[in-house]
Amino acid sequence: MTTHADLAARLLREAATMFRAMTGPDQELAKRLQDFATLYEQVAEMVEAEPLGELQPTAGAAG
């Protein structure tokens, strides 16, 4: 049975693929889109590995 976490990870990976497909000649935008894609993939891995895991605050992070 597919769980909510499985679906979330799949959607995050699909979004990463879309971000990569949207890159073009603008190098600054391409870099940002690549960064988003990487972030989405990292979150997908976190959701799969530990669906109920909690984010740990980093130094200087608000909230």
pLDDT at res. 59: 80
Task: Give pTM, 2 decimals.
Answer: 0.82
pLDDT at 63 (0 to 100):
57
Instruction: HSE, CB side, 13 Å, CA atoms: give it for residue 17.
Output: 6
Angle at Cα 50 formed by Cα 14 and Cα 9, nearest 5°? 10
Q: How far is residue 49's CA from residue 62's CA, in Å, rounded to a whole number?
A: 25
Dump pLDDT digits (tens) for 11-51.
999 999 999 999 999 999 999 999 999 999 999 999 999 99
**pLDDT for the residue 62:** 64
Amino acid 60: pLDDT: 73
DSSP string, 1-63: ---HHHHHHHHHHHHHHHHHHT--S-HHHHHHHHHHHHHHHHHHHHHHH-TT--PPPPTT---
